[in-house]
Structure 1
Amino acid sequence: MLPVFAARADGGIIEDVDGNRLIDFGSGIAVTGVGASAEAVVRRASAQLADFTHTCFMVTPYEGYVAVAEALAELTPGDHAKKSALFNSGAEAVENAVKIARAHTKRQAVVVFDHGYHGRTNLTMALTSKNMPYKHGFGPFAPEIYRVPVAYGYRWPTGPENCGPEAAAQAIDQISKQVGAQNVAAIVIEPLLGEGGFIEPAKGFLPALSEFARDNGIVFVADEIQSGFCRTGQWFACEDEGIVPDLITTAKGIAGGLPLAAVTGRAEIMDAAHAGGLGGTYGGNPVACAGALGSIETMKELDLAARARHIETVMKARLGAMQEKYEIIGDVRGRGAMLAIELVKDPSTKEPNPEAAAALAKACHQEGLLVLTCGTYGNVLRFLPPMVIGEELLSEGLDILEQAFTRI
């Protein structure tokens, strides 16, 4: 995206090989929430490197993998018996969650949602909503995937106040009539949608879908790959409405930048796959597991969930003031340190304004602030600062953003 080659990074600053310093409002796409070289991550991963880099957990297991599984059982929602399987990437976690759900239910259909994003492998491309750039030219895709509406409050025809129950009723009706609840293995949803535009499903939508899944023997999968690990001001975004998913997929923020992902869920569901059915050479690599334990240590010690809530307070106040000043800001949304503004050409029509999003991102980059775009229509600026970012850096980044609006 940028002609910037990083030399070092931490605490909300990326320094390039020429000595330029950028304020980081991207965190490697929600990965380095604890910073890009967090002390505990470096310390634990370095110690593991000195012991061994790999054995393959399926061949000769090691304590670090078990410790990560124990941490996930403690931190994820629900007090039921849990098990975890570790993988390399978010897409791999989602793909394995589908495999586990199909093995458990003996069904095939998978339900996903408009604006959802779940990865770039063949199955997860099928699960993903947006064509360009994720799917275009890469088909055919995996079958038995069904897409239904999501509760996108800003764009719901009858208004955000009606969105949750109406969207839930519409989605459940489509599932029941077009697929048949008895054929559905899994419902897979991001509790706060990421690439689709940082859409927070309207209140009531997720509880209704979760209840429908429970009543019909469907595995409810929360894809927390971008929203997990304190990012939304809670350990996991689904906690906001008390959702306890059957399976939860994690990656990105789990290991402070080292490649690791997980599926965590009800023990009886996780046990459904036959011996040898799940795995992979590098899944749960010992160095990545050490990084995860360091990342979780940092989140607990610094209470980064609370820090994310503070970032939300600071940023929403500034973004709200910008919205009052600039009518192209149609919506300010998100939670914690996972926030966004949706840009429109006219607030009355809500016509998407991707040109403004691209121009503003470019202007920010030129002034030393790294921001990311997203959204099905390409018209959303998203903000994912490291949760360890200092007050002055956060304020300076918002100043740069505001100056970009002034210029453009």
Structure 2
Amino acid sequence: MSDERTARATLTAVAEPGDTFLNRIIDHSGAERALESIRTGTLPDGVIADAKEVKRLGQWRIRLIAAEPDQDMAVCARFRGRLICPGDPEWPTTLDDLGDGRPYALWLRGPGDLRYGCLRSVAVVGSRAASPYGLRAAADFASELADRGWTVISGGALGIDAAAHRGALAADGSTVAVLANGVDVPYPASNEGLFAEMARRCLLVSESPPGTHPHRLRFLVRNRVIAALSRGTVLIEAEARSGALNTAGWAARLGRVVMAMPGSVTSRTSVGCHRLLREEGTTLVTRTEEIIEAVGSIGTDLAPPPHTPVLPRDRLEPVTRAVLEAFPARGATGPAQLAVKAGVDLTTINAKLGLLAAAGFVERVSAGWRLTKSAKTPKPLTDTPTHPTPPPHPP
């Protein structure tokens, strides 16, 4: 491993992810010189820092004592992981949009190619304490996105994140989890099986070296990576103070598409989504086609209009349908009255009444003709697909 890569591996262990001061030093003098500044406590010529930033050099120097990049790389190699750095073929250039907040390097686990996977990718995020409605929507969206060749990116957390990852896996598609801990640390523990399957088939990503355990601030910091890697972020469910709103905020700042799915007005898990939908720049989505239209190529990924239910009467030819529409909702009527309302002659009326009776729309009674019960409450034809909007609650 080159000295530059070793330096970046070390920096992931000694500094918090995305530190703007450290990135300024790296941009100015390179990772090796940044590491030397931490060891000596002296800044490279031309780097200006305030007192708080200089103090961080001392904090990083203390952490440097325990840093073991060679051991981290050896552990990573045991589970067939790898370290990627800026300039590597697998490094997504979209991370450069973070500027001074970009990662120093990324630890990866799994066979997926990060850069290639992010070319067509959508972040699906939301509440940990998700409702059955949100879980089903996240899984359905992710499954359909994956089935159409889109990579689903999320944070590996409980709730919406896990449902999105599982939905993509169920479609045998690509999904990426950006973790706040090492790629070998299953957190939360209940998702251990999910992470194992993703490591076998897809990709786990972290800014922290193997063995690192998460803490609260790192969950918020990693959200910027989720937003930067994807072409857009979909918020499925979010409470008023949800961390998923932080991801949506990063997406907006980075110029990515921000989308949100509406929920029940009485549901606390949708308060954040509804607040976001009231803000300018947020796209309301209820179908996978709408997500793809928002993040896809202009003119080629347009969402088709939702199919409306097709009723049996819709297949009647115009004159026959006009006669049927002339019937009153209740009671019986005669051919003469129908002729006036439909605007056709009696001969035509009598012919059409026979056709409508044979099809089960009308029936003859002592007082004339009336609609049948099935004609009053028509059911959609089962051979025509319908798309619920939004995704329905599970039974």
TM-score (norm 1): 0.26
Please report the TM-score for the alignment, with normalisation by the length of structure 2. Answer: 0.27
**Which protein, 1 or 2, shows the higher relative CO under an 8 Å CA cutoff with sep ≥ 6?**
1
Higher helix share: 2
> Higher strand fraction: Structure 1 or Structure 2?
1
